[in-house]
Structures are given as structure tokens and as C-alpha cells.
């Protein structure tokens, strides 16, 4: 955590009310650091502003306050250093598969010759397993293949960070599984830094090193960061047999079902217990690993149901 | 199944045509001559129809067919300023339509692009477009003749003014409604404005722009006939009016058929072009 490769520093986003008078704050004073080579997922309910966080990091939206720092420089708008994989794949339908990837490559390296551009594009099309489909138009591809092209296009930029906005949510379960496997493999091999937005708890547990839990908006905050205690070598078929799997999963689901709504109450309880919640350094939780230094200031699920 | 339906449609079309021609043929048969026999000398002098005191007879399909064949066999003759082949007249009209239309495209597409990209420009130009659009193009004709002083250039101006609006409005609409996600792709790839306009916005808006161009060519072809009737001289519209003055109904019907045919060909050409730039999603 010492290295601040990418950091969001006190960012806020508010929209003026359409009826006039005042504004709605989606989130404010949000701090998050992403160390190099880590895979981070943001999870939270719809409307908590997680897509806004990603868009600000991509440069497609601007924070009302605060800064985003990438590799020591504050960002100002979009950049080829930060590649985005869009939920709706966003391929250009009039270009072929290789045309779509080559368009990105040519944008990043405008001085390259045609042959260099195409060779680079082919390499990444092969990486996502689409060799042979280079000359097809997106309309002739399945949903999964389209998203593979989107992934190839983003990876071909060799970005500092890969930003994914629910990239697999529009796919069927089988395709989603295969693509998750491939993304995980590629990211591990290349040491890619990734930030992903998701609704899917199992997807987050399988892919992420850290899961950022956001409370409900408006006025959303990062409640805590869950460190994934599962080993780096994971197999999606028996990940659920690992002893750390259910503690992590239960912790996240417990948060989404109950705690994300009433985090204010919890915050007051934490302050009363002398461990105030700190926006700059949300608590790091390691479910399944006992933490002797921390008193159980937050009531566990069992305790809460017992009191009800 | 599909092939057989096409054959059946073709057969039905043929049947409808045959039925129409037969009705036409029967409908224009002259009544049996009544009254006293004509002095052949007198009949020759004033024309057979006038001699009996009746109207010029409506030609039948056979007369029109013969005339059509005559025109097709010799389309480019010139026997004086008022008697030129149909090919030449159609050529004049097509040349005027293309000149006015291409000029309009050269103005409307770049301007529509600018309007589509800039909400400020859209709002400021919208009142002018809304007022100018519904004006009948022929209403401009006197003003054009007064300022330009050349009848042929004036018809080109009228074509220009009538074909500019559909292209302008469709281009602006197409450009303004390019999908947000494609523009976001351009943003994240740091694509420069000119390259973005040419490689993202233009291909994305091309089908809508082509739809506007197709509407425009149709309107231009409708208007040229009327414009040439007004200004005279040359062109298929003038030919129709001149044959009305000659009371040559056969020539008028022949010209009407050819106007339809050329209009269809122009529309088909634009439809081909539109199909070439349309992308499936």
C-alpha cells in the first residue's frame, strides 16, 4: 500500500437539481489508492456512484472537487494511458474486428507503419482467442466475441490502468465464466493494474485482489476495503471449497444486504468505540483471518440477529 | 417460396398493366362519325378533328407506344430551338438538377455537420431554417430571375434552394445523434477533432445523411419540371409545356413516362449509395 500508483484524492461529484435550487451530492471526500499490478473491484448498489468514479478516472467525467493522480501526475481529461472496457462493448460497427483494434493502436502510435499497426492488433486479437475472425464486422459476432474485441482493443493500448465498467453483465453465464478466466489469466501474466465495477459478488471474489465496498448514494462513501484472502492461484470450479471463500462472500453480501443502507449508524457506533471511520483510509478487512488487534466494535451478523 | 412469390408478383404486375392498357385502348376509341360527310379538302386544311367541331382526340396506348419508339430511336435530333430530341431535353434537365443538387450538398453537408456538433449554432440557425424550409421553391423564381438575369442559372438556383433543406436537416440530426459511447471511445483514445469528425462522426451519421440526400434528389426532380415550364427554353419541363401548346397529347404522355423513369433511376442510384454506407448493428 506504500506505492500510490493511481490515487483518487478527496474527489466529489454533485449534480445540480433539475428543479433548481441546491444540488445532489453523489459522493464527496472519496479517497482510494490502487497499487501497481493489483486488481480492484468496486461493488455497491445502483446509484452509489461507482460508475461515476470509473468515468472520472477515465477522464470522461470531471470531479466537482479533488484530484486524480496517475503515476505522479494529476489527470486532465481522458488519456491513452487509461483504457476503458465499456459495458456495451462500444465497437464501431462499420469497422471490422481488426479495424476496431487497429484504430486504437493507430491512435496510440500514430507514427507506426500500417504493417506494424496490423501486427500489433493481430497479437492482441490472438490473445483474446479471436484469430480467424479479424475481418468480421461486429454485427456478425456473438455478444461474448464482441466483448473480447473490446478487451483486445483496450489491452492493445498497453495502458497503465484498465478500467472495466460491468464488462460481463450483458453476457450469458457460460460466456461470462470463460471471459472471466481469460481476463484473469491475461491480467496476471501482464501484471496489469485493473479497476472493475461490478454487481456480481462471485465475479469480484474470483477476479479481485481487493474489493471496495461503497455505501448507498446519495452521499456514498467507501465503507471499507475487503482484502481477498483467497490464494492467488484460484480455480473457479473449486474456489468455493476454500476455507476463506465463505467468510469473504458472507462479509460482502452482508454488507450489500444490510450494512450499505445503514452505514451512518455504524459510523456513529465506531466513533463511540474510539475508532472513527476515516475517509482517507477506509478500514482494510481480511475476512476469515482473525484480527486480534481489533475489538469487535462492529456487531457481527449473529450478534445482530440475536438482539432482534 | 420467395422466388415463386416474386414470379407471382411479376405476373400480377403484367396483368395490371395489360388491364390498364386495354381499358385505355377501349376508352379512347372514337365514336362512329355522324352528320354529313366532310369535304376532304376542308378536312385536310383545318385538321380532321377541328373540321367535325370536336376536340383533339385522346391518343390510345398504341399511338403513345409508336411515339415512344420514335423518340427512343432518335433521341438527340435538333431541328431548331423549339424542336429537339427528348434525349437532349432530358439531358438539360438532368444537368440542371445535378448542378443545383451538388451545390446544395456542398453547402448543406458541411453546414449540417457544424449545426449538429454545436448546440449554439443549432439554436441560432433553427428559426431561419424553419421559416425558409416550407417556402415553395418556385416562389424564389422571380427573385432569382431578377438578380441572376439568366433563366438557366435561375432554375439551377431553384433546385439548389429546394434540395438544401432535407440534406441540411438530416446531416445535423445524424451528427447530433451519434451514439455517446462511440464519442467516448474517441475521447479515451485521444482522437483529434478533425480525425474524430472524419473517422467516427461521418461514418456514424452517413446513413442519415444519405437518407436526406435521397429525399433531396426526389424533390429536385419534381421541381425541375415546374421550373422549366416557368422559364422555358430547354429541358423536359419546357418540352411538356411546348407540346401542350402544340396540342400533341401523345408527346406529353411520352414525356410523362420518361420523367417517371428518370426519377426512378436517380432514386435507385441514391438508394445504392445509401446501402453501401449503412452498417448493421
**What is the pTM for the complete model shown?**
0.84
User: Which residue from A83, A90, A137 is facing B181, i.e. has the nearest CB?
Assistant: A90
Instruction: Quote the number of domains for chain B.
Output: 1
The answer to whether residue A141 neighbours chain B at the CB level (below 8 Å) is no
Residue B43 falls within a domain, yes or no? no
Residue B64 falls within a domain, yes or no? no
Among A177-191, A282-296, B2-16, B19-33, whose mean pLDDT is lowest? Answer: A282-296
Pairing mode, if any, of strands A193-198 and A23-34?
A: unpaired
Higher pLDDT, B146 or B32: B146
User: Which residue from A60, A90, A139 is facing B280, i.e. has the nearest CB?
Assistant: A139
Closest by Cα among A258, A257, A291, A253 to A275:
A291
Distance, CA of A192 to CA of A93 (rounded, Å): 28
pLDDT digits (tens, 9 = 90+) for A100-135: 999 999 999 999 999 999 999 999 999 998 999 999
**What is the model's pLDDT at position A15?**
86
Residue B5 falls within a domain, yes or no? no
Burial B200-211 (b: 16+ CB within 10 A, else e): bbbbbbbbbbbb
Closest by Cα among B101, B100, B126 to B112:
B126
Contact A148, A130 (CB under 8 A): yes
Tell whether omega for the bond before A129 is within 30 degrees of 0, i.e. cis.
no
Residue B70 falls within a domain, yes or no? no
Residue B99 falls within a domain, yes or no? yes
Percent of chain A scoring above 90 in pLDDT: 48
A108: nearest CA partner in chain B: B189
Residue B281 falls within a domain, yes or no? no
User: Which residue from A78, A94, A137 is facing B190, i.e. has the nearest CB?
Assistant: A78
- B189, B195, B201: best mutation site toward chain A, by most A Cβ within 10 Å? B189
**What is the model's pLDDT at position B32?**
62
Contact A213, A45 (CB under 8 A): no
Contact B279, A137 (CB under 8 A): yes
Contact A249, A206 (CB under 8 A): no
Question: Residue A165: beta bridge partners?
Answer: A197
- Could you report the predicted ipTM of this complex, rounded to two decimals? 0.85
All residues at 6 or more sequence positions from B123 whose CB lies less than 8 Å from its CB, including other chains? none
Distance, CA of A225 to CA of A5 (rounded, Å): 17
Question: Residue A193: beta bridge partners?
Answer: A161
**What is the model's pLDDT at position A295?**
47
Residue B187 falls within a domain, yes or no? yes
pLDDT digits (tens, 9 = 90+) for B231-252: 888 999 999 999 999 889 999 9
Backbone angles phi, psi at A267, to 5 degrees: -60, -45
Cβ contact A90–B184 (<8 Å):
yes
Pairing mode, if any, of strands A283-285 and A222-227?
A: parallel
Residues of chain B numbered 230-249 and touching chain A (CB < 8 Å): none
Residue B205, pLDDT > 70, answer: yes
Contact B231, B155 (CB under 8 A): yes
B192: nearest CA partner in chain A: A107
Arithmetic mean of pLDDT, B149-153: 91
Residue B115, pLDDT > 80, answer: yes
**Cβ atoms within 10 A of the Cβ of A288, count?**
17
If you average pLDDT over every residue of chain B, what do you get? Answer: 90
Contact B43, B51 (CB under 8 A): yes
Backbone angles phi, psi at B120, to 5 degrees: -65, -50
Give the 3-state secondary structure of residue B175: helix
Domain that holds residue B257: 87-276
User: Which residue from A77, A80, A90 is facing B182, i.e. has the nearest CB?
Assistant: A90
B278: nearest CA partner in chain A: A94
B280: nearest CA partner in chain A: A139
All residues at 6 or more sequence positions from A220 whose CB lies less than 8 Å from its CB, including other chains? A26, A27, A44, A48, A49, A214
Whichever domain contains B216, its CATH number is 1.10.3720.10
- CA angle A107/A112/A117 to nearest 5° reads 70
Residue A288, pLDDT > 90, answer: no
Give the 3-state secondary structure of residue B146: helix
The answer to whether residue B198 neighbours chain A at the CB level (below 8 Å) is no
Residue B26 falls within a domain, yes or no? no
Amino acid at each position: 500500500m506504500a506505492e500510490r500508483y493511481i490515487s483518487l484524492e478527496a474527489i466529489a461529484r454533485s449534480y445540480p437539481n433539475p428543479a433548481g435550487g441546491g444540488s445532489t451530492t453523489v459522493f464527496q471526500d472519496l479517497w482510494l489508492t490502487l497499487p501497481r499490478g493489483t486488481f480492484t473491484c468496486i461493488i455497491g448498489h445502483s446509484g452509489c456512484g461507482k460508475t461515476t468514479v470509473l468515468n472520472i478516472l477515465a477522464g470522461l467525467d470531471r470531479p466537482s472537487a479533488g484530484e486524480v493522480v496517475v503515476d505522479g501526475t494529476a489527470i486532465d481529461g481522458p488519456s491513452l494511458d487509461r483504457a476503458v472496457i465499456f459495458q456495451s462493448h462500444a465497437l464501431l460497427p462499420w469497422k471490422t474486428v481488426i479495424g476496431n483494434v487497429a484504430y486504437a493502436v493507430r491512435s496510440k502510435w500514430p507514427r507506426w507503419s500500417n504493417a506494424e499497426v496490423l501486427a500489433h492488433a493481430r497479437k492482441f486479437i490472438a490473445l483474446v482467442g479471436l484469430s480467424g475472425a479479424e475481418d468480421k464486422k461486429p454485427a456478425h459476432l456473438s455478444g461474448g466475441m464482441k466483448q473480447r474485441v473490446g478487451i483486445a482493443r483496450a489491452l492493445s493500448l498497453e495502458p497503465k490502468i484498465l478500467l472495466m465498467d460491468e464488462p460481463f453483465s450483458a453476457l450469458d453465464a457460460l460466456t461470462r465464466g470463460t471471459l472471466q478466466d481469460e481476463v484473469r489469466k491475461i491480467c496476471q501474466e501482464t501484471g496489469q493494474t485493473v479497476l472493475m465495477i461490478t454487481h456480481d459478488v462471485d465475479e469480484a471474489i474470483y477476479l479481485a485482489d481487493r474489493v471496495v465496498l461503497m455505501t448507498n448514494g446519495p452521499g456514498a462513501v467507501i465503507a471499507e476495503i475487503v482484502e481477498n484472502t483467497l490464494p492467488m492461484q484460484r480455480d473457479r470450479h473449486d474456489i468455493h471449497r476454500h476455507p476463506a471463500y465463505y467468510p469473504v462472500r458472507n462479509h460482502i453480501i452482508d454488507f450489500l444486504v444490510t450494512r450499505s443502507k445503514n452505514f451512518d449508524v455504524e459510523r456513529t457506533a465506531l466513533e463511540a468505540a474510539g475508532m472513527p471511520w476515516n475517509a482517507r483510509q477506509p478500514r482494510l478487512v481480511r475476512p476469515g483471518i482473525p484480527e486480534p488487534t481489533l475489538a469487535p466494535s462492529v456487531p457481527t451478523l449473529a450478534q445482530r440477529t440475536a438482539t432482534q | 417460396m420467395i422466388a415463386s412469390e416474386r414470379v407471382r408478383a411479376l405476373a400480377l404486375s403484367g396483368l395490371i398493366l395489360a388491364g390498364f392498357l386495354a381499358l385505355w385502348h377501349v376508352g379512347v376509341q372514337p365514336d362512329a362519325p355522324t352528320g354529313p360527310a366532310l369535304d376532304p379538302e376542308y378536312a385536310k386544311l383545318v385538321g380532321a378533328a377541328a373540321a367535325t367541331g370536336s376536340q383533339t382526340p385522346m391518343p390510345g396506348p398504341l399511338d403513345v407506344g409508336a411515339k415512344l419508339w420514335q423518340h427512343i430511336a432518335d433521341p438527340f435530333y435538333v431541328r431548331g430551338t423549339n424542336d429537339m430530341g427528348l434525349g437532349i431535353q432530358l439531358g438539360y434537365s438532368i444537368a440542371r438538377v445535378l448542378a443545383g443538387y451538388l451545390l446544395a450538398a456542398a453547402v448543406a453537408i458541411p453546414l449540417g455537420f457544424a449545426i449538429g456538433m454545436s448546440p449554439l449554432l443549432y439554436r441560432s440557425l433553427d428559426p431561419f431554417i424553419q421559416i425558409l424550409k416550407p417556402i415553395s421553391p418556385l416562389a424564389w423564381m422571380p427573385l432569382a430571375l431578377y438578380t441572376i438575369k439568366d433563366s438557366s442559372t435561375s432554375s439551377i438556383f431553384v433546385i439548389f434552394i429546394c434540395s438544401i433543406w432535407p440534406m441540411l436537416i438530416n446531416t445535423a440530426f445524424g451528427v447530433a445523434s451519434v451514439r455517446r459511447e462511440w464519442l467516448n471511445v474517441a475521447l479515451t483514445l485521444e482522437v483529434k477533432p478533425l480525425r474524430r469528425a472524419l473517422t467516427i462522426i461521418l461514418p456514424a451519421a452517413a446513413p442519415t445523411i444519405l437518407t436526406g440526400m435521397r429525399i433531396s434528389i426526389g424533390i429536385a426532380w419534381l421541381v425541375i419540371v415546374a421550373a422549366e415550364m416557368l422559364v422555358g427554353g430547354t429541358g423536359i419541363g419546357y418540352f411538356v409545356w411546348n407540346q401542350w401548346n402544340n396540342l400533341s397529347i401523345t408527346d406529353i404522355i411520352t414525356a410523362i413516362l420518361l420523367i417517371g423513369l428518370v426519377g426512378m433511376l436517380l432514386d435507385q442510384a441514391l438508394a445504392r449509395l445509401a446501402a453501401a454506407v449503412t452498417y448493421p448493428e
